[in-house]
Amino acid sequence: MSTDLGIWLSALLSLAAFSFLIKENKFYNIAESAFIGVGTGYAFVMAWSNIQSKGFGQIAQGDYLTIVPVLLGLCLFGKMSKSTAWIGRYPAAMLMGMGSAIAIRGAVQSELVRQIAATCVPLNSVNNIIVVVGTLATVSYFLFSMKSTGSQLSGGINALSKLGRWVMMVSFGAAFANATMQRCAQLIDRLRFLFEEWIYLIR
Amino acid sequence: MGAAPNDNTGKKGISRQFMYLLTVLAILLPLVFPVGMPVSVTPWVEKGYQHVEKLNPGDKVLISFDYSASGAADIHPAAEAIFKHLMDKDVKVITVAFVAEGNRFPGMLMSAWEEQGKVYGEDFIHLGFLSGHETGLAALFADIPGAAPVDSRGNPVTSYPIMDGVKTVADCKMFIGLSGGNPGPQQYVRQLEPYQGVEIFTACTAAIAPTVEPYLASGQIVGLVGGLKGAAEYETVMGYAGKASANMDAQSFAHLLVIGFIVAGNIIHFTSKKNEGN
């Protein structure tokens, strides 16, 4: 069995977290609070060191333009009081506007043009047929304006959208299976730690 | 022990605790008594490996460690395998983290390689944590020394030989994104769109791996290592058995058990429905 205090602490906290599987209890609550506290503390330290090195540090070295983002960042604290909340709207507006613009800039080409191009494939293999039909069927599921007109066209789109629902269910199933696989990996990691590094059962 | 009231319906079923116990046993027994089940390599892992293999000694690669402690069990083995591959090929590695907790992982890998003779600042460098997620990515790609003027050790990045000639991400041959969510493959592809010469290779948690498939099909991402299984595949194709391969028996048995649970659950559901009908 390990004599390392850090491993003992980690092992006991792991067991406390696992105890939730029986029922919620004080040990689990302690582990949960410790996890949230440590995570928040770590994130705060990282953010502070980031501000120091990339904010104040740069100003101290003569990069006075950095004062602008630092001031805008400080303005966000205005939201802590109702009377000064308006000050925080300016940096918040900039954050949202710039964030959206940066995301949209690459999205049109990478997620629209290139993805459409990737579905324009010759129908010479089962895989390609599944890609093309599956994509069309899924997109048709989201055509809400043409489904209830009673025409032959709307009947065809209805049938295609039903297929689209099945395609989405298959993809959700794959996503769920992968999520299960990830949870298994996390459990394996913890059990390996407990039985390998703590009580030396695994060699 | 097996039959107990179901928590939601009050009907008789398999108790949750019994299922947890079976799951723990299904994982623990293969860990203690490994059977060495074979690991098949998927094409996307093979392709990713081949693209790394094509890199020349001295080429520069940017790696982003965007996963937290909760995702580490699934991604860190892949990070170890890919980092080992890059070190074996004498590729220069620049690392960064856009998730605060991800900041600690490059240091863990680098200290192990420093013990084996690799030099910080020459063979690899860690730029530290950068806030802003996608906007941070965009800023770094456009101006690496500008977005990260000092490294994780507090020194100017331009003082290190590895950073000679590195201005933007276009000066790197490849970008490797290790992601547990956001930023992830979608953000990498979006922000690297203007830099067509930079190949994107990603390792991510198994949960988000299916969302990467469209980018693989379109050629926007050259390879995918999905979760612990992907890491085991990467180790297999590299020809060594690391942490991920050692866990594959347990993973396989756990999956078999989950399949068993699903089958049993359906049988119980339909049998009880039939009995209710009668």
In a domain, B254, yes or no: no
What gap in Å lies between CA B79 and CA B61, rounded to an integer?
A: 13
Is the same domain home to B139 and B32? Answer: no
Query: What count of residues does chain B have?
Result: 278
Q: Which of residues 86-125 of A touch B (CB under 8 A)?
A: 98-99, 102-103, 105-107, 109-111, 114-115, 117-118
Give A33-44 pLDDT, tens digit per residue. Answer: 999 999 999 999
Residue B21 sits in which domain range?
A: 3-37+261-277
Total number of domains in chain B: 2
State whether residue A9 sits within 8 Å of chain B by CB. Answer: no
Is the same domain home to B141 and B19? Answer: no
Is the same domain home to B59 and B86? Answer: yes
Is the same domain home to B11 and B91? Answer: no
Give A84-134 pLDDT, tens digit per residue. Answer: 999 999 999 999 999 999 999 889 999 999 999 999 999 999 999 999 999
State whether residue A139 sits within 8 Å of chain B by CB. Answer: no
Is the same domain home to B93 and B107? Answer: yes
Contact between residue B62 and residue B55 where contact means Cβ atoms under 8 Å apart: no
Q: What is the pLDDT, as a whole number, of residue A50?
A: 87
Is the same domain home to B193 and B82? Answer: yes
Please report, for the domain that includes residue B111, its CATH number: 3.40.50
Binned at pLDDT 50, 70 and 90, residue B1 comes out as very low
- The yes-or-no verdict on residue B242 having pLDDT over 70 is yes
- Continuous segment of H or E residues that includes residue B94: strand B92-97
A102: nearest CB among B24, B138, B218? B138
The mean pLDDT of chain A is 91
Give B38-58 pLDDT, tens digit per residue. Answer: 899 999 999 999 999 999 999
Give B144-162 pLDDT, tens digit per residue. Answer: 999 999 999 989 999 999 9
Binned at pLDDT 50, 70 and 90, residue B169 comes out as very high
Is the same domain home to B84 and B28? Answer: no
Q: Find the Cα–Cα–Cα–Cα dihedral B176, B178, B182, B186, rounded to 10°.
A: 40
What gap in Å lies between CA A203 and CA A29, rounded to an integer?
A: 32
Q: Residue A94's closest chain B neighbor by CA? A: B135
ipTM score assigned to the predicted complex: 0.87
Is the same domain home to B26 and B148? Answer: no
Q: Which residues of A touch B219 (CB under 8 A)?
A: 118
Residue B211's closest CA among B51, B220, A142? B220
Is the same domain home to B58 and B75? Answer: yes
In a domain, B256, yes or no: no
In a domain, B227, yes or no: yes
Is the same domain home to B65 and B13? Answer: no
Q: Cβ–Cβ of B190/A179 closer than 8 Å?
A: no
Binned at pLDDT 50, 70 and 90, residue A143 comes out as confident
Is the same domain home to B69 and B141? Answer: yes
Give B58-103 pLDDT, tens digit per residue. Answer: 999 999 999 999 899 999 999 999 999 999 999 999 999 999 999 9
In a domain, B199, yes or no: yes
Binned at pLDDT 50, 70 and 90, residue B2 comes out as very low
